[in-house]
Structure 1
Amino acid sequence: MEINNNQSSKNEKESSYDKKEFSLEVDSPQKVVIAEHLKRSPEELLKSLQPAFKAIGEMQERIQEVIQPIVSLQEGLQKTIRPLYGMIDDVRKRIITTMESIDFKKIHDAAMILEENTIRFKAIMLEIGFPPYDSIPLSHIAYFVRIYDESGTEYTKRFISRYMSLVVYRKEDIRYMQKKWQKAHWLEKRIKVLNSALEGHIHGYYDLTIPTLLAQIEGMLVEGILLLDEPDGRIGYKVQGNFLAQVILGDADTFSFDEEIEKFYTTIILAEFERGKEVKSELSRHAILHGEDVKYGTKLNSLKAILIFDYLFNKLDELYYDIENSKQEIRKRLKRTKKSHTRSNGNNTGKGHIENEKRYSKDKDDLKRNNSTELNSDQ
């Protein structure tokens, strides 16, 4: 019984505490005052909250001001881009229609004809003793080939000679070349001589211009070897020929005239001669400078010398644009050439080894003979 009485007393105390806390919570003086104030003066509460409401409204207006340009920009982009989509689709459809209408077989056939005409034109130019040049229009090249097929070598030679001297390389064209040479700083020490040669050509002093130009071609070539290559010993005509073929005129593309210019230089300008015998080349450097040929002084020969000089000038001017880089490229090219030569002369049998030894011995004899000829011709 005593325990039950204690428990009952404890429960009553807790209940009285809860009532007291509740009473305090409800009857808090501050809250009672606020509640009574709200009941009596709601207008004052609204008035006190008006600044907050106003700030929220201004914030909404600013947000709208920021959002509106973005929305306008988006709408503008959509209006701008929508027509572009249509244009792109139209272009795509036109491209498809155009591609479907192209006869690729005709294009291929035309390209084959153009390539064949170019190859034949280069051969024809060498046959008539004229250096091919890349300023001649492709339509004219096809015409020359047709003339050759219809009228033969002699008529074609006369026709192309007149064409080159009267149509393609007139006075104003020579002046253009002159200005181009004058702009090259590396020709500075030669430009006075070259100017005299071009003036002589324009005024018809071909007996004077040709020896001058031939000498300057060789001088320019040797200077290029010294700047770009690593010559070992005397720079004779064999070294010059190798430099021409491997470095300056190394483009074997169908539409490049490098190989033909190299052949013209080595077979016509560097053509040998024998004293007292007819000179076979119309522009032999040796026969002219050593006084054997005295009939060389023609306008065509002078023009040929100018064209050869200009062709080599263009090639060297490109290499001189970045000499160090050109040197590296030349070393790589010469290294590839040597490796290719080694593979082509490689031997897998004793017989191959003997053939290589014979070839090597023959090359040495040819080199000695060429150097001997050069020394004798220069004396």
Structure 2
Amino acid sequence: MSSNLKELIYQFNEVLLPRVNMYIEYFNAVSKMKKMAEDIKYVTESIENFQTICTLLGYPHHYSLFISQRELDLLFKDFHGNEDEVKQIIDNFYIARFDDMYIKEKFLKRWEQATILSRRLKIIRESISCFEQQLYFTAIPVLFSQLEGMVADGYNHKGRMSSKQLKQYILDLLNAEDSSFKAQLSKFYTNTILVGFEHNEPIDSFLSRHAIMHGADVEYGTKQNYIKLLLFFDLIYERIIEKQRERENL
């Protein structure tokens, strides 16, 4: 073997080959990272889509409610593409997750520390107690009333508060929501909670505050409706607390 050939082989083995291997490893790593990024994007989009659907169905997204891709896959493993089936799957998910202990741990404990709710706690506790006893027809109107009272306290509102004023306050709070769900939340409030009614006529909402409080809706008492209202109550509570902090920092 000539010395030139030996030198070339040496150069290849000692210099070029390590570099080739390095580049191969680099491209493999890049490929893996790209695949990982695609997987993360898929998971993120799947979870965000799930949260969006939940919000559209009246379950405002809550920070405590983490769901993994594996849970999501299991949740929809037998899904056949039916819209009513999606609603049933999501209802079942929330009903299973929101048991008595979950509500006490994730919601009531925080509310008990809040000055703004201190004079309302005995009423809120009774609402939750009714929920625990499956007395949803009682639990829901009680929580609705405290939602409005909390908003009045949050804005230091004095005197009569019209429906228009309440709507303005709540939309103001929802518009301060720093999330991609802002539009859906506002839509849920205006198109579900604020829906009007006429006695002895079909009600175009499963959770119309007006129809419930004025006795037109006699079908609202479900566990999922209480959970939806509870989530909305907590969302508004959090926005009020944030506004108070902002005012304190001015």
Tell me if the contact between 1:210 and 1:297 (Cα under 8 Å) persists in the aligned partners.
yes
Q: Could you say if the C-alpha distance between residues 144 and 220 of structure 1 is closer, same or farther in structure 2, counting changes exceeding 3 Å?
A: farther
- Structure 2 SS opposite 1:130: coil
For the 8 Å contact 1:117–1:141, the answer to whether it is kept is no
Distance in 2 of aligned mates of 1:179 and 1:252: 24
- For 1:161 and 1:289, the matched residues in 2 are separated by 24
Of 104, 114, 129, 1:175 maps to 104
Cα distance in 2 for residues equivalent to 1:98 and 1:244? 53
Q: Distance in 2 between matches of 1:290 and 1:244?
A: 21
Distance in 1, Cα, partners of 2:73 & 2:171:
30
Q: How does 1:1-379 map to 2 (within 5 A)?
A: 101=29, 103-134=32-63, 135-139=65-69, 142-143=72-73, 150-166=80-96, 168-176=97-105, 177-226=107-156, 235-254=161-180, 257-321=181-245, 323-325=247-249, 328=250
Give me the whole-angstrom Cα distance separating, in 1, the residues matched to 2:88 and 2:245: 39
TM-score scaled to structure 2, two decimals?
Answer: 0.75
How many residues are treated as equivalent by the alignment? 223
What's the CA shift for 1:291?
0.7
The letter for the 2-side match of 1:313 is: Y
* Residues 1:98 and 1:249: Cα distance change in structure 2 (over 3 Å): farther
Where does structure 2 lack aligned partners over 5 or more consecutive residues? 1-24
Q: Which has the higher contact order (CA 8 A, sep 6+)?
A: 2
The DSSP-based 3-state class of the residue aligned with 1:283 is coil
Change (3 A) 1:145 1:202: closer
1:24-51 Cα distance to aligned partner (Å, 9 max, x none):
xxxxxxxxxxxxxxxxxxxxxxxxxxxx
Match in the other structure for 1:360: none
Q: What is the CA-CA distance between 1:249 and the residue it aligns to?
A: 4.2
CA distance in 1, matches of 2:27, 2:245: 41
- CA offset digits 1:100-120 (Å, max 9, x no partner): 835442344234324432443
Partner of 1:62: none
C-alpha distance in 2, partners of 1:127/1:147? 21
Offset, 1:199? 0.7
Higher radius of gyration, 1 or 2: 1
State, as a whole percentage, how many aligned pairs show the same letter: 27
Give the TM-score taking structure 1 as reference length: 0.51
Change (3 A) 1:246 1:112: farther
C-alpha offsets along residues 102-148 of structure 1, whole Å, 9 cap, x if unaligned? 54423442343244324432442244343333313242674389569
Give the secondary-structure state (helix, strand or coil) at the position aligned to 1:282: coil
SS in structure 1 at match of 2:179: coil
CA distance in structure 1 between the partners assigned to 2:169 and 2:141 by the alignment: 22
* Gap regions ≥5 residues in structure 1: 1-96, 329-379
Say what the alpha-carbon RMSD is for the aligned residues: 3.2
Counterpart CA distance in 2 for 1:243 and 1:118 is 30
- Given the superposition, is the C-alpha separation of residues 290 and 155 from structure 1 closer, same or farther in structure 2, using an over 3 Å criterion? same
